[in-house]
């Protein structure tokens, strides 16, 4: 049971880290998209 709890905790930490990483990538892509959109309008 202790192993299961430890495994779940590791998974949740990994999931949080991955979510943060993907969120940052998503933000970067949005910013790039906005910049490209502005460049096209110029």
pLDDT tens for residues 1-42? 899 999 999 999 999 999 999 999 999 999 999 999 999 987
Give me the pLDDT at residue 38, please: 92
How far apart CA 42 and CA 31 sit, in angstroms, is: 17
Give me the pLDDT at residue 41, please: 85
H-helix or E-strand containing 42?
Answer: none
Task: Return the ∠ at Cα 23 (arms to 19 and 27), rounded to 5°.
Answer: 175
């Amino acid at each position: 049971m202790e192993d299961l709890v430890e495994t779940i905790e590791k998974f949740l930490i990994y999931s949080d880290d991955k979510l943060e990483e993907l969120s940052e990538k998503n933000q970067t892509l949005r910013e790039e998209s906005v910049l490209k959109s502005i460049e096209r309008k110029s």
